[in-house]
Amino acid sequence: MIVDGESLSIEDVVRVARGNEKVEISNEIKERVKKAREEIEKILQQEKPIYGVNTGFGELANVRISNEKIEELQENLIRSHACGVGEALSKEVVRAIILLRLNSLAKGYSGVRYELLEKLAEALNKNFYPFVPSQGSVGASGDLAPLAHVALALVGEGEAFYNGKLMAAKEVLELLHMEPIKLKAKEGIALINGSQYMAAVLCLAYFDAYNLLKNAQIAGVMSLEALKGTDQAFREEIALARPYKGQIKAARNLWRLCKGSSIIASHKNCPKVQDAYSLRCMPQVFGAMYEALDFIKNIVTTEINSATDNPLIFDGEVISGGNFHGEPVAIALDLLNIILTKLSSFSERRIARLLDEKLSELPPFLAKDPGLNSSLMILQYIAASLTSENKSMAYPASVDSIPTSANQEDYQSMGSIAARKCMQILKNAEKVVAIEYIVASQALDFFDLQPSPASKAAYNFIRKYVKAVEKDKAMYKEIEEVAKHVHEGNILKEVEKIIGKIE
């Protein structure tokens, strides 16, 4: 995967973060990176004050640092800022962080040596996994603490993982035959000024959320069939009368997913006028999620191809600004958290209908022998718990701000907090959709008629891992197993073999 500072995609990030794809630095950027570095060296010789290069940081920006202390300044910056707390970030998030920092520096506005970019690429290609705590960033001067832990490991201090074991970073570098990097002027601040932690999470979560939205539509159609709903609410005429692109896309998907259902065809002339909102309004609700995801994609694609440190170099001029501020990413993360919470809540309502005999006209809790067996009763409790937890976390982190650095940095994005919540909300939502898959599959067992070919493909896949419940049994492993296949897109792949790509 070629890094050029301009064309990184969300899919590229996923391939490098999860698939360990190798990276190369484009030859085209070498000259612009070196040119910016030369400008920094030239200004240092003139002894002009440059923020973060020969001055202190934050409120200490007015403290001048002598040229002979500049390298020590950069090392001290990394050490002082590497004070994050909490659980370690996953390897895929840390790899995404390193890739995004590399791509940002590759734009050639940061004034670092080309060797620093090579070191970041080497870290990815040799699977160097620094220990990065998940808490401590306020998301405005960049994700300072998390990025400082990455930099600390690269200079041979701090800690890193090797074969799952946490070790001194210096030892891991030796095992990987990597030399610690010696930071020069501007390079410490260039490594930590940026939104790469929150942007890394947003990249991966966007990819997973899009996959989950497709799964939710498949599970939703399975529920629709089991509840003897109609596909007429998915007709193109309705969507075109309110022509949101997302709604049109969702309606098209749902119509194709329903195609060929003997169950739906069997009650075409039933007296029921219309279905509940959780069935009838799937194009509108899922469509709104598509619209929001398009907005998020635009934000994250722009962010991961941006120069986000401070100061930046333009044609020999060093200019201080605020590109490190995480506000765009923070708002996008908060929006994604809302989408995922609504998706899980929407799914939970269909699960509840399937298990309520008064609404489903199916046996209570889909039990083969109700009373003696509770069957799937408690799966709705689990879905309700996960959904409620998501609701409690969906309040936007970005509406808050606490000043730092003696009020010099007086307005924060809090995007990293939104990122931390996003990782949990996503996992919860995947489990809720997994539960809907399990419950809908059990409900379809009560029909002699066949569901749509798409639903049948999903049903057959699920039945490989979750057998029909005849007698009560513990199902926690089945929920986790189906959630894993939701996350990996395996159920989606089976359905797409039948109907083609879901948009």
- Tell me which residues are annotated as active site: 51
Rounded Cα gap, residues 82 and 150, in angstroms: 9
Cα 154 to Cα 2, 42, 94, 110, 194, distances in angstroms: 22, 27, 13, 18, 17
DSSP character at residue 489: T
Cα 343 to Cα 387, 418, 486, distances in angstroms: 9, 17, 14
Quickly count helices (H) and strands (E) in the chain.
21, 9
Dihedral angle computed from the Cα positions of residues 294, 256, 489 and 197, in that order, rounded to the nearest 10 degrees: 10
Under a CB-based contact definition with an 8 Å cutoff, are residues 287 and 170 in contact? no
Cα 391 to Cα 75, 353, 426, distances in angstroms: 42, 20, 12
Under a CB-based contact definition with an 8 Å cutoff, are residues 158 and 130 in contact? yes
DSSP character at residue 87: E
Longest dimension (CA), the chain: 86
Query: Kind of pairing, strands 24-25 and 2-3?
Result: parallel
